[in-house]
Amino acid sequence: MPKIVECIPNFSEGRDAGRVEELAKVAKSVPGVTLLDYSSDASHNRSVFTLVGDPDGIAEVAFQLCKKASEIIDMTKQTGEHPRMGATDVVPFVPIREVTVEECVEISKKVAKRVWEELAIPSFLYEYSAAVPGRQNLAAVRKGQFEGMPEKLLLDEWAPDFGERKIHPTAGITAIGARPPLIAYNINLDTSDLEIANAIAKAIRGSSGGFKYCKAIGIMLEGRNIAQVSMNMVNCEGTPLYRVFEAVKFEAKRWGVNILGSELIGLAHSKALIDCAEYYLQIEDFDYDTQVLENHLI
Amino acid sequence: MPKIVECIPNFSEGRDAGRVEELAKVAKSVPGVTLLDYSSDASHNRSVFTLVGDPDGIAEVAFQLCKKASEIIDMTKQTGEHPRMGATDVVPFVPIREVTVEECVEISKKVAKRVWEELAIPSFLYEYSAAVPGRQNLAAVRKGQFEGMPEKLLLDEWAPDFGERKIHPTAGITAIGARPPLIAYNINLDTSDLEIANAIAKAIRGSSGGFKYCKAIGIMLEGRNIAQVSMNMVNCEGTPLYRVFEAVKFEAKRWGVNILGSELIGLAHSKALIDCAEYYLQIEDFDYDTQVLENHLI
């Protein structure tokens, strides 16, 4: 089976369709790499690309995208609701098939080195690639944003992992790293009481004592007048979808609230879903790699 | 996305490893076709091959396998526990991706025509390919087996769909047809009472009033001293796995019996499993084709 790595670079441009198309053209230009999806958000002024390819191809396309973004995005003029620190803001590499997290860490370092040497853009290694404690968390790395970075980089603990202690004048600085597959998963409750969704979110998320790899908040779906537990499942091997689903169900019972349904946003890896079938159908001795026909076709 | 057809030819040879390897060599010889699996059963004296490929490739490999089997298997000397009527006993074509059942029916007819014209082996079209009522069912088509076929073919209603009213002297006659993906799925019960498994099997199988696309019998797992509901799910779009699982669960309750677990034998299509995740997680508006990452990699 071939090695497949996913890369989901985020760019600080979500309003100028012409620039986004320039990035898309680069995203499609590397053999062995497929652009699965790209979408832009105007209020965030941000675009997210989803690519898959072999390790060499994905490293090449990630570099070429950083290069193009540095040519067409000027962070000194960029505004938007989403926190950001660079033209290419963050470049995560995700192991999909026959690839370890360690190999993705190597890819991230290779790309970060080249981005500094050839483009003079410094970078922080984050998540699994973090070499310094406190850099696993992207939010902590990005704190201060583009405008605050010149000052932040001079602090003892915030030297970039690659590059000097000053940002690229227009492209800023980029976070690059390996992370597990992430799934955006929401559960809709049969209540219009946001406080119940918030209480359930607090019960299940890792940061407040729940499941380690689950991030969760309560939000209102105004159109349907129902509350939702909105989650980022950052590692479905460690915290499977069925486990949070069952936990939300039993927590909701506390208030006599039922689950109306759930939503899977964007792409999910088949294993995260098939793991749930395996759980609910109580399948004994199931082997995902060999027993799923499609895994032989990739 | 490329068109992918699965073919699972069954050959009346499961004892002579040399002959099976000759078939395997042919199975690997056609570009665009992958041999996923092959296994032999000595008491059945039968081998089952699982291949996937594009429509043209799969038609070619199916023909070449029929040719090789006719050269190395002599049905006048073949014995075994499994019912059979030809050296190549049955050739099912299954739509996997971007292919309709109708296209598989066309492939089956093309192969059946060529097998007659070039190998002088007659065939019955069965399952979805059946042109004559009563030939959907493979067991009915095969009734009488190799030894009874010369007489059967002379009956008004049993002229072959391709070929004359007489079998090939050593290769017999073959059933060729399109069918939906089939999954072998068993549910283990927390009882050693075979009668309970038989009663549940009767309740859920289509032939006795249960689910249309479920075939089921009760069997004993002697090693574990438990009874099992052993099923062939012949169309998981029509009768999904979760539905028989839940039905077996509520039927078993009638006797105070619980489900210990289940078994998936061989390969399953990811959709059949992900449909179960979609059901149990109550996912709203899920799109299997676009939201499963691996579907973009095939």
Distance from CA of A180 to the nearest CA of B (A): 14
Q: Is A278 on the interface with B (CB under 8 A)?
A: yes
Enter the tokens of residue A147: 């405008």
- Helix A270-280 and helix A241-253: axis angle, to 10°? 60
- pLDDT-derived band at B143 (thresholds 50, 70, 90) equals very high
Averaged confidence pLDDT in chain B:
95
Position B266 scores a pLDDT of 82
Position B71 scores a pLDDT of 98
Strand pairing class (A123-127; A174-178): parallel
User: DSSP characters for A218-247?
Assistant: EEEETTTTEEEEEEEES-TTTS-HHHHHHH
Question: Cα–Cα distance between B79 and B126 in angstroms, integer?
Answer: 24
In sequence order, which residues have a C-beta less than 8 Å from that of residue A129 and are 6 or more positions away?
A104, A105, A108, A109, A176, A177, A178
Nearest to A4 by CA among A55, A42, A49, A67: A55
Spatial contact of A276 and B277, defined as CB atoms under 8 Å apart = yes
Residues B144, B146, B151, B156: is their CA dihedral positive or negative? positive
Enclosing H/E stretch for B195:
helix B194-204
CB contact under 8 A, A284 and B277: no
Residue B152 has pLDDT above 90, yes or no: yes
Is B269 a known active-site residue? no
- pLDDT-derived band at B265 (thresholds 50, 70, 90) equals confident
Matching residue, tokens 């490893």? B17
Strand pairing class (B88-97; B4-7): antiparallel
**B33-61: burial string, b at 16+ Cβ within 10 Å, e else:** bbbbebebeeebbbbbbbbbbbbbbbbbb
Largest alpha-carbon pair distance within chain B? 59
Give the Cβ contact number of residue A224 at 10 Å: 11
Tell how many helices (H) and how many strands (E) occur in chain A.
9, 11
Q: Is B288 on the interface with A (CB under 8 A)?
A: no
CB contact under 8 A, B293 and A270: yes
Position B16 scores a pLDDT of 97
Distance from CA of A286 to the nearest CA of B (A): 7
Quickly list H helices, chain A.
17-27, 55-72, 101-119, 138-142, 145-152, 194-204, 241-253, 270-280, 288-291
Contacts A97 to B, Cβ<8 Å: 297
CA angle A271, A295, B13 (to 5 degrees): 130
Low-confidence ranges of chain A (pLDDT < 70): none
Position B133 scores a pLDDT of 86
Position B85 scores a pLDDT of 98
Please state the pTM of the whole predicted model: 0.80
Position A111 scores a pLDDT of 98
Enter the tokens of residue A43: 């209020």
Q: Which whole number is the average pLDDT over B213-234?
A: 92
Strand pairing class (B174-178; B123-127): parallel
At B175, is the secondary structure helix, strand, or coil?
strand
pLDDT in tens, A130-178: 998 889 989 899 999 999 999 999 999 999 999 999 999 999 999 999 9
pLDDT in tens, B17-44: 999 999 999 999 999 999 998 989 888 8
Spatial contact of B78 and B13, defined as CB atoms under 8 Å apart = yes
Nearest to B1 by CA among B278, B290, B286, B269: B290
Give the Cβ contact number of residue A115 at 10 Å: 28
Whole-number percent of chain B with pLDDT over 90: 87
Nearest to A34 among B242, B259, B296 (CB): B296
Nearest to B61 by CA among B107, B13, B117, B120: B107
Q: Which whole number is the average pLDDT over B152-158?
A: 96
Position B298 scores a pLDDT of 78
Spatial contact of B123 and B160, defined as CB atoms under 8 Å apart = yes
CB contact under 8 A, B291 and A6: no
pLDDT in tens, B104-119: 999 999 999 999 999 9
Residue B99 has pLDDT above 90, yes or no: yes
ipTM of the complex in this document:
0.79
Enclosing H/E stretch for B58:
helix B55-72
Q: How many CA atoms lie within 13 A of B198 on its CB side?
A: 5
Q: Which whole number is the average pLDDT over B208-233?
A: 93
Matching residue, tokens 């979609």? B278
Q: Is B283 on the interface with A (CB under 8 A)?
A: yes
